[in-house]
Amino acid sequence: MRPAANPLHPSGDPPLRGGQDLETAYAKINLALHVRGRRADGYHDLETLFAFVDAGDTLTAREADTFSLTVTGPFAGDLANEPDNLVLRAARLMARHNGITTGLAFTLDKHLPIASGIGGGSADAAAALRLADRIWGPDRVTVRMFDYCADLGADVPACCVSRTRFGSGVGDRLVDCDIPGLVGAPVLLVNPLVACPTGPVFRQWDGIDRGPLDPAQWGDARNDLEPPAIALVPAIGEVLAALRQTGARLTRMSGSGATCFALYDHAPARDRAARAIAADHPQWWTMSGALR
């Protein structure tokens, strides 16, 4: 592994017409997550392998006198009472670090469930940073996002890159991690749409350090937060059990839940699994894609 590179715009999303620009806020999954210990500051030392799906929320923006945010999409209502959304916090943070006094008008098309272990808010913040960086340009943005993006949350640095990375510390210390055959792997995400707050899950962790994470052996690794999350939200166990019946080569919970994922050998197997899950559990959220 080597220190992570800092590509500012991993999406390749094209500019839109009408003075707007677009970024995809890619869904994050933790292929493995080992909790190594509790810290005095209340956080946890962990080791994780981040990967990203080629789908997620969509964020557009155009230059404006002030900052504003319009939220659309199936999960827009979950952000209705959140006046200081991470998108706005991210853009204002970049403006403050670079002495920029104008704003941006954002529209967020929200397709990822809120607080679901797939970095929705962090991915949105990272997309906002990439958008702001591109719109304002190198003449105005001289202090780079990687100097301060961790202030927005531990997952934001990984989401800024949106490629496979090994993370340690609280997940913010990143190194490149090349895993043959991972890019393009078909993946299915499933969430029972039951709230699974991060704090209680971490507090329920049993405190046992079960050893380090070897990225080369990620398939045989684990998510140490699965047992406490299932104890708090039994529906997570139901999702994992359903996914294991679909012929997946790997099933696991992402982050602190409640989203779980399954990797498949080929796209038709993933698509059959998605149809079966939707038919048997129409109340669950699903998203199909491939790893980037």
Q: Report helix, strand or coil for 153.
A: coil
Judged by phi (left if over 0) then psi (alpha if -120 to 50, else beta), residue 162 lies in: left
Alpha-carbon distance of 118 to 135, in angstroms, equals 27
Distances, alpha carbon 83 to alpha carbons 67, 86, 274, in Å: 12, 9, 35
Runs of H (alpha helix) within 36-105:
86-98
3-state helix, strand, coil in the chain (%, to 5): 30, 30, 40
28 is catalytic: yes
Alpha-carbon distance of 30 to 48, in angstroms, equals 6
Runs of H (alpha helix) within the chain:
86-98, 120-136, 156-161, 198-204, 226-232, 235-244, 267-280
Length of the chain (residues): 292
Strand 68-72 with 103-109, pairing: parallel
Alpha-carbon distance of 186 to 250, in angstroms, equals 11
Catalytic residue among 13, 21, 28, 133: 28
Catalytic residue among 13, 124, 155, 224: 155
The closest of 183, 180, 211 to 45, measured between CA atoms, is 211
Alpha-carbon distance of 238 to 234, in angstroms, equals 7
Catalytic residues: 28, 155
